[in-house]
């Protein structure tokens, strides 16, 4: 089976399993786990922030961030297709008690103008606009990169309007590699950033949330409310350290494979796929018919994938499919659509 459902399916490497087996651990809720402490220090430095917190998942990292920035009734500006709005079970409303305000964009990329248009002036009737959430790379926009000059200008603009900025950087390492810049530069200026270790970076579990020392101290309390105090979590942090230190550069191979898959799909009848739109490790495939039955047919042909719209299929490349041939994916599509 070629599993292109997500980069979340990656399994820990042999090196990770060995590091996990021998990790030095302690009770992290007491601050006693040396491996978690090391991961948090390394992650803070990686992301260019004062402090970091190891969390169970990207969803937990994003939601802890919103809970920490906002008070009940505050307004959170989000891009209308953002993961934090689409796929986190209404957490902004349920957990932070805040109100999301989705902003439509043509391509997932928020601009200063769009943010300005969404921030209302002070008025007794209105919620307080508190937080802007950005996403890089943007999942539902097909792994699109919010490139540095544009990214910085929207961050600066949000700050000038009195908003805090949280970055959902589940795949920020993909965005950094695609632009040839360090992570700290890709996260510069934001008040908080979440980055997943368990997607393309292959850790079995875990994400990191980074920000100022004061922000992370409060975030640690909010993680505890969610049941995220994980005790001997050094077993997991040991794998996360390898994600940060050794798994980022190879993401360029995933990007190359995604591009090759898109190129080989471009001339399959019944498929609309633009190789030029592939910026990182995702391929969006638009079909001339409903996607659900085609996903089932592709599974019968040995390719697993998911939908991201009624007639749209999403393919995600990652470490565990690195050896496949792009032409085999196109062959499965030809058979499935026949
Ligand atoms: N995304 C998953 C699914 O939830 C859709 C995937 O397969 O792509 N932010 C972004 C941008 C994400 O893509 C994801 C996961 C998360 C946050 C949440 O991370 P986890 O799954 O660790 O909670």
Q: 209 with 263, same domain?
A: no
Domain-terminating residue out of 246, 264, 282: 246
Q: 255 with 225, same domain?
A: no
pLDDT digits 0-9 by tens, 126-178: 999 999 999 999 999 999 999 999 999 999 999 999 999 999 999 999 999 99
CA of 83 to the centre of ligand 1 (A): 7
CA of 170 to the centre of ligand 1 (A): 7
What is the domain count for the chain? 2
**Residue ranges for the chain with pLDDT beneath 70:** none
Question: Would you give the DSSP letter of residue 76?
Answer: E
CATH number at residue 207: 3.40.640.10
Q: Which protein residue has the closest C-alpha to ligand 1 atom 16?
A: 58
Q: Please state whether the predicted TM-score (pTM) of the whole model is above 0.95.
A: yes
Q: 3-state DSSP call for residue 331?
A: helix
Q: 107 with 88, same domain?
A: yes
Q: Which domain holds residue 65?
A: 10-246
Q: What is the pLDDT of residue 157?
A: 98
Rounded Cα–Cα distance for residues 157 and 260 (Å): 37
Mutate to test the pocket of ligand 1, among 170, 195, 197, 312 (most ligand atoms within 8 A of CB): 170
Q: What is the pLDDT of residue 259?
A: 98
CATH number at residue 266: 3.90.1150.10
Q: What is the pLDDT of residue 275?
A: 97
pLDDT digits 0-9 by tens, 203-231: 999 999 999 999 999 999 999 999 999 99
Q: 66 with 213, same domain?
A: yes
- Judge whether 4 lies within some domain: no
Q: 110 with 72, same domain?
A: yes
Domain-terminating residue out of 185, 213, 246: 246
Pick the closest to residue 78 from 125, 138, 8 (CA basis): 138
Q: 325 with 234, same domain?
A: no
Rounded Cα–Cα distance for residues 82 and 194 (Å): 14
Q: 138 with 242, same domain?
A: yes
Ligand 1 pocket, residues with Cβ under 6 angstroms: 6, 8, 57-59, 62, 83, 87, 135, 139, 168, 170, 196, 198, 207
Q: What is the pLDDT of residue 74?
A: 97
8, 38, 233, 234 from 32: Cα distances, Å: 29, 11, 10, 10
Q: 272 with 174, same domain?
A: no
Q: What is the pLDDT of residue 44?
A: 98
Q: What is the pLDDT of residue 278?
A: 98
Instruction: Indicate which atom in ligand 1 lies nearest the CA of residue 87.
Output: 4
Q: 40 with 188, same domain?
A: yes
Rounded Cα–Cα distance for residues 187 and 254 (Å): 22
Cβ pair 53, 223 in contact under 8 A = yes
- Judge whether 5 lies within some domain: no
Rounded Cα–Cα distance for residues 63 and 94 (Å): 10
Q: Which protein residue has the closest C-alpha to ligand 1 atom 9?
A: 170
Q: What is the pLDDT of residue 45?
A: 98
DSSP strands (E only) in 113-226: 129-135, 164-169, 192-196, 207-211
């Amino acid at each position: 089976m070629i599993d292109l459902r997500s980069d979340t399916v990656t399994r820990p490497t042999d090196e990770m399993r060995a590091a996990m087996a021998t990790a030095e651990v302690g009770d992290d809720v007491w601050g006693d786990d040396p491996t978690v402490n090391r991961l948090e220090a390394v992650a803070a430095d990686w992301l260019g922030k004062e402090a970091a917190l190891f969390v169970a998942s990207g969803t937990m990292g994003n939601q802890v961030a919103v809970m920490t920035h906002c008070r009940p009734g505050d307004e959170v500006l989000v891009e209308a297709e953002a993961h934090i709005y689409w796929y986190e079970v209404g957490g902004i409303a349920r957990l932070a008690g805040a109100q999301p305000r989705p902003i439509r964009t043509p391509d997932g990329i928020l601009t200063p103008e769009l943010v300005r248009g969404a921030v209302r002036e002070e008025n007794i009737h209105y919620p307080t606009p508190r937080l802007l959430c950005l996403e890089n790379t943007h999942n539902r926009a097909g792994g699109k990169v919010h490139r540095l000059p544009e990214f910085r200008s929207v961050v600066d603009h949000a700050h000038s309007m009195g908003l805090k900025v949280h970055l959902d950087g589940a795949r920020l390492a993909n965005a950094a590699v695609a632009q040839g810049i360090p992570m700290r530069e890709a996260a510069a200026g934001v008040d908080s950033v979440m980055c997943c270790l368990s997607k393309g970076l292959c850790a079995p579990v875990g994400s990191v949330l980074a920000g100022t020392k004061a922000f992370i101290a409060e975030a640690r309390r909010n993680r505890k409310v969610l049941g995220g105090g994980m005790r001997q979590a050094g077993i997991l942090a040991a794998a996360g350290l390898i994600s940060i230190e050794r798994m980022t550069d190879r993401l360029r191979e995933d990007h190359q494979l995604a591009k090759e898959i898109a190129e080989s799909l471009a001339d399959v009848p019944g498929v609309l796929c633009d190789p030029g739109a592939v910026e990182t490790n995702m391929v969006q495939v638009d079909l001339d018919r409903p996607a659900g039955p085609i996903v089932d047919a592709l599974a019968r042909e040995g390719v697993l994938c998911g939908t991201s719209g009624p007639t749209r299929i999403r393919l995600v490349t990652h470490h565990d499919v690195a050896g496949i041939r792009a032409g085999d994916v196109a062959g499965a599509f030809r058979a499935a659509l026949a």
